[in-house]
Structure 1
Amino acid sequence: MAKIILFNKPFHVLSQFSDGEGRSTLADFLRAPGYRVAGRLDYDSEGLLLLTDDGRLQQQIANPRHKRWKTYWVQVEGAIDQTAIDKLCNGLSLKDGPTLPARARPIAPPDLWPRNPPVRERKSVPDSWLELSIREGRNRQVRRMTAAAGFPTLRLVRHQVGDWSLEGLQPGEHRIETVNLPRESLAAKRKPRRRSP
């Protein structure tokens, strides 16, 4: 049995418990000795951050080879069109190589808390929202993907990681869940015996 903390990380909070520059960290919201972050979330992104007290679960969540879907609600500059959605879904080329195909669709503006400070508004330029799901974990990947598709990100909220969701959590709030990890088989745990010569 492992425990996992689902935390709604506010804007401009670091995904760590300390900082030498005086920025806001997880320690301002949580007391969680023994817990480690499983998959970081950028300082200027919001939403679901997972922490666990189990190293194996941390690897299952954070390591891209497990291909766990992460879903984001993304506010972009401009009216997102089908051409851009197709580019995101088919995978596009970034400086560090091509992305895997994503899941993307336009959505109505979600019912979210106000961001502090608010997203800048430009009356001459519309904005729109999309839901984007990826299975990778590159640095600032969602922002780079939407920019490569021609629609820079204005606001980024991670809504879901695998089966875990942000539902019911306001910024700075958390809840703890218990996870039943599958037991390793006894055969895998046994070390092979050396045969005597």
Structure 2
Amino acid sequence: MREANLPNLKLVGTTSASGGRFGNVKITGEASLTGDVECRSLSCTGTADLKGSLTADTFKLTGECKVGGDMRSGRISAVGDIEIAGELHGDRVKLTGDVRVRGNGEAESLQVRGGLTVEGLLNAETIELRMLGPCRAKEIGGGAVSVKRSRTSVFKMFTRGNVGLQADLIEGDILELEHTRAAVVRGNRVTLGPGCEIGRVEYRGELSVHGRASVQERVKL
């Protein structure tokens, strides 16, 4: 958004407001916004409940955010939990915490340290997932995909359930996977680390399989 003279919106404490078009939106506390929100930036320290869709050039969160529709932003930086009822579209996305997307997720680069659930297709040029709990996506596609357990000791006390990724299909150029269960993995250079359980691997260039990984079928394309 490059329009001038858009009003800013500042919400402090426990409050609510209507949606609309704004310059900068700043939330400190607990806020609920009805309707779609379109703005240059949205910054939240606390809890934001957006009943509609969100379109922002930049989005910054420390706390929790719910989006009732789609979320679109150029840069997303968040520490906490994000729940999106629609689809996620971003350029540079960096999340520490837990993100849940009911639709598809799309980004240029995606970095997640924590938990990730995408009920549709997750697609990004680069994907870096450092897991702190169960993660799931129906399908994952990207140029370079790296999936590992997080080694950040400060978060160990918050880890819940089996730390691993589950997907129907993972496809990309360079794949480096650990603790991943998938029906099909397809790529150019594929590295399967410890804890992987893969039904079928299709590779064009190189395939490396760790001794503590299992693959039912290997196909050189």
Q: Same fold (TM over 0.5)?
A: no
State the TM bucket, normalised to the shorter chain. under 0.3
TM-score between both structures, scaled by the size of structure 1: 0.22
Greater RCO structure (CA 8 Å; 6+ sep)? 1
Structure number with higher strand proportion? 2
TM-score between both structures, scaled by the size of structure 2: 0.20
Structure number with higher helix proportion? 1
